[in-house]
Amino acid sequence: MPEELPRWSTMEGDCLSCMKYLMFVFNFFIFLGGACLLAIGIWVMVDPTGFREIVAANPLLLTGAYILLAMGGLLF
């Protein structure tokens, strides 16, 4: 007759499996967020008509665009 595993052993395995999948999902969302920040930062820097006039009027916004690029690159 095969030995049965204790109940806490199977519950621990289920919990670790759940944590593994939750970690995958959260890392995927962080990856998507980094890609979005990177895309917005690149869009602000290269768009010749839309944001150039706004960014040229306030140099602080140019710093914000560089921060978006840096944070997006780090998260991506």
Mean pLDDT is lowest, of 26-30, 36-40, 56-60, for 56-60
2-17 pLDDT, tens digit each: 666 555 556 677 888 8
Query: What's the length of the chain?
Result: 76
Distances (CA, A) of 3 to 6, 50, 66, 72: 9, 70, 61, 52
Region 25-47 average pLDDT: 89
Mean pLDDT, rounded, of the chain: 81
With tokens 């780090």, the residue in question is 74
Asked if residue 72 lies in contact with residue 30, where contact means CB atoms within 8 angstroms, the answer is no
51-69 pLDDT, tens digit each: 767 777 777 877 888 888 8
Q: Would you place residue 30 in the very low, low, confident or very high pLDDT band (cuts 50, 70, 90)?
A: very high
